[in-house]
Amino acid sequence: MGYLSTIYHTSFILKNEPLGNLNNYDLKWSLFATGPAMKDAFASGDLDVGYIGLPPVMIGLENGLKVKCVGGGHVEGTVMVAPKYYKTFDELGSVNAVLKQFEGKKIGTPSKGCIHDVIIREITKNLDIEIKNFAWADFIPDAIEEVEIAAGVGTPSIASVASRRFASKVVIPPHKLWPYNPSYGIVVREELIDESPEFITDFLKAHEEACNLIRLHPEQAAEIVLKEVKVVDEDFVLDTYKISPKYCASIPEEYIESTLKFIPVLQRLSYMKGDLNQENIFNLEFIKKIHPEPAHY
């Protein structure tokens, strides 16, 4: 099981309090710095399941990676933060107006090919802004504080850390950067679909239960997260949940359409050359059975 240090992923709940039938399985959890690193672990055969943004998966698929996205988890998980003296989207009225404040400067984001990197490179493509990649997203607030970069783009956790470290604010909210972007999905080795369909079903049921816990009972979810994440408090987790509160295991049409819109962007960035379609990326048979109702995003 591969997971990231992103505390609003259900990995932090299921790792510490298995729900549903997950106690019937011997799950071994491995922490990764970024989605591209997880993609490489899938390629080397070291992973069966991963919590990962879909652009790295799409890059891997073009290079022969044998995986499928079988469940959603969260949308609109990319946020832009900066010190308080910069103006926000609400003040300026457009994404481009906000970004123009950073011309001639650097914006930090996690590693190349991750969803945050792809989004910020796309929306700044016509501006004089340098994008600086970091191996760990946790380094980005430090770099802003030390004026190494002018702003940071990453998960809502970055905004929560920055607001506690120095006077910062969200300058572009998640729903304005890339509407309905698939901030992460549940991705599995293709062989697992034939070898262990009952595990995929059980895992997705537990994953949806955990998504519901975050959405409907965030204090209870935060208590579970804090069993592992000792360096933050409950308010930090709750603040992170609130910044982008769209959690669900479903894969609706909007999720798929937003994912496919990344393809021409990945091609323009030379992250991939070929083309993909819905069937290359998704296997919907499991999620349609366990989540037939409308998505909760």
* 141-199 tens-digit pLDDT: 999 999 999 999 999 999 999 999 999 999 999 999 999 999 999 999 999 999 999 99
pLDDT in tens, 79-110: 999 999 999 999 999 999 999 999 999 999 99
Looking at CATH, the fold of the domain delimited by 79-177 is given as: D-Maltodextrin-Binding Protein; domain 2 (3.40.190)
Residue 255 has pLDDT above 90, yes or no: yes
Of the pLDDT bands very low, low, confident and very high (cuts 50, 70, 90), residue 256 is very high
Tokens (6 digits) for 147: 């004026």
Homologous superfamily, domain 2-76+182-290:
Periplasmic binding protein-like II (3.40.190.10)
Give me the pLDDT at residue 43, please.
94
Query: Which residue spans of the chain are classified as CATH 3.40.190.10?
Result: 2-76+182-290, 79-177
Percent of the chain whose pLDDT exceeds 90: 95
Q: Produce one character per residue of 116-146: b if its CB has 16 or more CB atoms within 10 Å, e if not.
A: bbbbbbbbbeeeebeeeebeebeebbbbbee
Average pLDDT over residues 216-238: 94
Give me the pLDDT at residue 137, please.
85
Residue 136 has pLDDT above 90, yes or no: no
Average pLDDT over residues 120-145: 95
Of the pLDDT bands very low, low, confident and very high (cuts 50, 70, 90), residue 230 is confident
181 close to 76: Cβ distance less than 8 angstroms: yes
Give me the pLDDT at residue 138, please.
85
Distances (CA, A) of 139 to 20, 228, 252: 36, 20, 34
103 close to 86: Cβ distance less than 8 angstroms: no
Kindly report the pTM of this predicted structure.
Answer: 0.92
Q: Which long-range contacts (CB under 8 A, 24 or more apart) does 288-294 make?
A: 289/201, 290/201, 290/204, 290/205, 290/208, 290/249, 291/204, 291/208, 291/248, 291/249, 291/250, 294/250, 294/252
Give me the pLDDT at residue 250, please.
98
